[in-house]
Every structure is written in structure tokens, then in C-alpha cells.
């Protein structure tokens, strides 16, 4: 089950919701796969750093670099849904520092920028 969830997730070129993934799996397995069980596995992946959650899109992407622990920054295109992933530890470190400075214990900064990707900005 986990392997097929990951395979389905990795097959998307955009962030995929648990429902998207359940649909793909239902088709390839010829039986109904519940989005709820996909959700649980996606959460495990996020905890294990195998996947990232794009909060503002309520969707997930396979982690391109599971070996390193960045606070990823996602650029979310509102037109085509494509997301670009960048890492800037200086920036996310500053966000963590600001949180700590306010007496807050940060677990995971969420930095997502919405707008238009390079292709959509052209049109």
C-alpha cells in the first residue's frame, strides 16, 4: 500500500491531493481505494521526510531530496497549478529565528508564494 501511494505521488508533475492519489490507485488496482487511508500514509511520508505538504494547495509532492532537511519554499502558480520548489536556508532560518525571538518554538516554517509561474506569466 505504501509503495503504491508513493509511486502514484511520484507520478504526478503537480502537487497531488489524497483524492487525486486515491483516484489513480483505484484505477490501476481496479478497486476503490479510500482517500482516508491515502491521507494516513501521506502523513507518514511527511513525517519521514519522503514527501512535503503544500499547505495552501492541500496537496503533497514527493520530496526531491529526502536526505537533507530543508524548510522548503514552494512557489505555487495559481493559473496552471505547477509548483516550483526552492530552498533558501538563510531565509527560512531567519523565519525560525524571528519565531524564537517572539518566544515561540517553531516546528516547521511554511513559506509558500502564490502567483504566476514563468510560463503563465508570459501568456
Q: Which residues bind Zn ion (CB under 5 A)?
A: 70, 72, 77, 79-80, 82, 87, 117, 120
- Which three-class secondary structure state does DSSP give residue 38? helix
9 and 21 Cβ atoms separated by less than 8 Å: yes
Q: Minimal distance in Å, beta carbon 40 to Zn ion?
A: 23
Q: Minimal distance in Å, beta carbon 113 to Zn ion?
A: 13
C-alpha to C-alpha distance for 121 and 105, rounded to whole angstroms? 37
State which residue, 1 or 119, has the beta carbon closest to Zn ion: 119
Dihedral-angle region of residue 88 (phi above 0 means left; psi in -120 to 50 means alpha; beta otherwise)? beta
State which residue, 25 or 59, has the beta carbon closest to Zn ion: 59
State which residue, 25 or 51, has the beta carbon closest to Zn ion: 51
Amino acid at each position: 500500500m505504501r509503495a503504491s501511494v508513493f509511486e502514484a505521488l511520484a507520478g504526478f508533475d503537480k502537487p497531488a491531493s489524497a483524492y487525486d492519489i486515491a483516484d489513480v490507485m483505484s484505477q490501476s488496482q481496479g478497486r476503490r481505494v479510500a482517500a482516508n487511508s491515502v491521507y494516513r500514509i501521506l502523513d507518514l511520508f511527511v513525517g519521514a521526510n519522503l514527501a512535503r505538504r503544500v499547505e495552501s494547495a492541500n496537496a503533497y509532492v514527493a520530496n526531491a531530496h529526502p536526505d537533507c532537511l530543508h524548510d522548503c519554499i514552494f512557489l505555487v502558480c495559481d493559473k496552471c497549478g505547477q509548483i516550483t520548489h526552492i530552498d533558501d536556508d538563510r531565509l527560512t532560518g531567519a523565519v525560525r529565528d524571528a519565531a524564537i525571538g517572539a518566544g515561540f518554538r517553531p516546528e516547521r516554517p511554511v513559506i509558500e508564494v502564490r502567483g504566476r509561474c514563468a510560463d503563465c506569466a508570459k501568456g
